[in-house]
Amino acid sequence: MNLKLKRLVRTHSSEQYALFDLAQTDEQNQPLTIGKLDLHYTGEGTYGTLLLWEVESQQIEVDRRRMFVQALLSELVLPMGLPNEFVVEFFAPSLDEYEVFHNLDEGTDNPAEAFERAD
């Protein structure tokens, strides 16, 4: 896995990242999305939700997943000078019924693209 993070949203106390594997590509030869990460920063620590799509999750053993989460959070949280404590919920949903609802630019099915244009 060659992980790339792309920040989609940032507020004063939270961030949302799309997770991509640069070693895998989709039908348009773009990096394959493997999940997303939502983080909320507080004075006591970092709280978040990690979603790895079911297919990707099945390829990672439990111990490697734990190391993956710790490395990911170390890269994102420690440079910000926040407390080392974190609580992250992990889910591995199936994409069979995945939908994104939005009222962004109606010319796209991908809300991240609308955010990119707004930057």
**Is the predicted pLDDT of residue 21 greater than 50, yes or no?**
yes
Domain ranges of the chain: 3-102
Contact 33, 3 (CB under 8 A): no
In 3-state terms, what secondary structure has residue 117? helix
Contact 18, 4 (CB under 8 A): no
Q: Give the confidence band of 106 by pLDDT, cuts at 50, 70, 90.
A: low
How far apart CA 90 and CA 27 sit, in angstroms, is: 27
Half-sphere exposure of 66 (CA within 13 A, CB side): 2
- Note the pTM of the prediction, 2 decimals: 0.75
pLDDT tens figures, 90-104: 888 887 877 878 888
pLDDT tens figures, 70-90: 888 877 877 666 667 888 888
